[in-house]
């Protein structure tokens, strides 16, 4: 059985796609026996790294990897990750040691919430799990509510996703600080 591989056009597209946020479709093919698989690749640009998730064959199971966004060979690394994932191999040699530390779960979840523009998310913030509700305003901005127990704050984020992430991360940081200070004062 031949391995499923990306074609040359997909490799060229990946070189550009690793610098973008979004979800991309790639078809991998094998010659003998002739078959193909459609893979969905989601790329999220973060502060120090990029997070790549691959889903294939309509499965709900997806595998993700975090890569250093400063490397010039990320297109080839993502291609290896896609091919390894679809063929059921381990993606050895794709991420370097400790690259996964470049993107926190919290940053990834905040960026995902902004990209999706709607929904409810429970954020990993140490011992606290604040709830984030986000919806896209018709003019492009975002309406946001952060909540822990009975404490809540509402605000609007700008339409620009980079600025929106920065403002959201800052509001969350201050909200958690104020919540912890209130708990300490009540104790």
List the single range of 46-55, 152-161, 165-174 with lowest mean pLDDT: 46-55
Q: Are 58 and 37 in contact (CB under 8 A)?
A: no
Helix (H) or strand (E) holding 57: none
- Read off the DSSP letter of residue 116: H
Contact at 8 Å (CB) between 85 and 64?
A: no
Q: Tell me: the pLDDT tens digits for 58-71?
A: 665 567 888 888 88
Q: Whole-prediction pTM value?
A: 0.76
What does the alpha-carbon distance between residue 30 and residue 111 come to, in Å, rounded to a whole number?
35
Interior/surface letters 82-96, b for 16+ CB within 10 angstroms, e for the rest: bbbbbbeeebeebbe
pLDDT at residue number 97: 58
Residue pLDDT, tens place only, 82-126: 998 888 887 666 666 566 677 788 898 999 899 889 999 999 887
The percentage of the chain sitting over the pLDDT mark of 70, rounded to a whole number, equals: 91
Q: Is the pLDDT of residue 142 over 90?
A: yes
């Amino acid at each position: 059985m031949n391995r499923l591989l990306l074609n040359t056009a997909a490799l060229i597209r990946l070189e550009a796609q690793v610098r973008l946020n979004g979800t991309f479709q790639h078809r991998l093919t094998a010659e003998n026996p002739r078959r193909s698989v459609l893979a969905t690749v989601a790329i999220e640009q973060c502060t120090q790294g990029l997070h790549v998730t691959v889903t294939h064959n309509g499965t709900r199971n997806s595998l993700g990897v975090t890569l250093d966004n400063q490397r010039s060979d990320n297109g080839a690394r993502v291609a290896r990750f896609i091919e390894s994932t679809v063929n059921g191999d381990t993606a050895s040699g794709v991420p370097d040691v400790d690259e996964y530390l470049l993107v926190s779960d919290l940053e990834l979840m905040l960026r995902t919430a902004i990209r999706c523009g709607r929904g409810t998310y429970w954020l990993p913030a140490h011992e606290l799990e604040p709830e984030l509700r986000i919806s896209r305003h018709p003019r492009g901005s975002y309406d946001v509510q952060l909540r822990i127990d009975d404490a809540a704050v509402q605000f609007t984020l700008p339409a620009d996703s980079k600025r929106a992430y920065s403002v959201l991360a800052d509001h969350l940081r201050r909200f958690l600080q104020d919540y912890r200070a209130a708990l300490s004062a009540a104790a």
